[in-house]
Amino acid sequence: MDKNTAQEADAQYKENTTEDELTIEVVITKYGNYIYNLALKLSSNPEDANDLAQETFIKAWKHIADVKEPIAIKKWLRTICVNEFRMMIRKEKRDNICYVENVEDLEKDSTLLINVSPLVIDEIQTTEEVIKLRNGCFLAMTRKLTLNQRITFSLIDMFGLSKNEVSEILGLSEKAVKGLLYRARMNLESFFQGHCSFLDINNPCSCTAWIEFMQNRSQLQEEMKQKIDILDYKERGYSFDSNVRQKILHYYNNMPDQRPSQEWYEKVIELVKKSYN
């Protein structure tokens, strides 16, 4: 969801919702899709996204009365979702997740951040299955970023938040957030530059070839996840390439939203009511 769409949703919500109408059904109907897609891009896993979005609404509803203005609900839910995600990762005790990076080093890296506009790419004529596979691969590789790099990249480059908004969520300086974004982009670019055939037809990794040899998409994605423990562009000796940056930003910026099933909405509403009735 881009910034304009999100702002329109907020404006419509503020216009159409009064305090008396603030029911869990209204909140989940208005923001269920938004929070689910945020959870999906943070977790890069549909099952984790279901659980993460569900926990977000359960935690949020306990304090819904504290929200004075309906316009603030989306930002409030987003912060809860990010915090729930961080707790989820810590509970997993994953060895390859770095929780804290040196803030001074990050602030130095911030001076290296180069902002470029994504390319408008004429998509290669390809099947829906290939597109889904590519998007799944791109999501999977965000899991190889350190925790704060993944949050920063997901919120800024996939969800359209500003660096200032992310600095508030993470409790870091805007310079540190710029450093995290620089590292995240460089790490992803260094991996895809030498692997993905969507960036260069001569690269070895082809979605079509994978589909020919693998019937089960989940098996393919699991293999991709195991290719590398954590991304580090310095180990690969990668240098900034504006063409690679533009192409990768295009693919991440244009990753479509996914809508959870109607059953998911009903389940979350039921769970919230059971928790607080």
207/194 Cα distance (integer angstroms): 15
177/68 Cα distance (integer angstroms): 29
39/57 Cα distance (integer angstroms): 12
The model's pTM is 0.70
Q: Which alpha helices (DSSP H) does the chain contain, by range?
A: 3-16, 24-43, 46-62, 73-92, 103-109, 128-142, 147-153, 163-170, 174-193, 207-213, 217-225, 233-236, 242-253, 262-276
**Tens-place pLDDT, residues 35-66:** 999 999 998 888 899 999 999 998 888 877 77
Cα angle 249, 255, 261 (rounded to 5 degrees) comes to 160
**Nearest to 79, CA basis, from 17, 167, 181:** 167
Yes or no: domain 3-94+258-276 corresponds to CATH 1.10.10: no
258/250 Cα distance (integer angstroms): 18
**Tens-place pLDDT, residues 60-108:** 888 777 776 767 888 889 999 999 998 888 877 655 566 667 899 999 9
Domains of the chain: which residue ranges? 3-94+258-276, 103-253
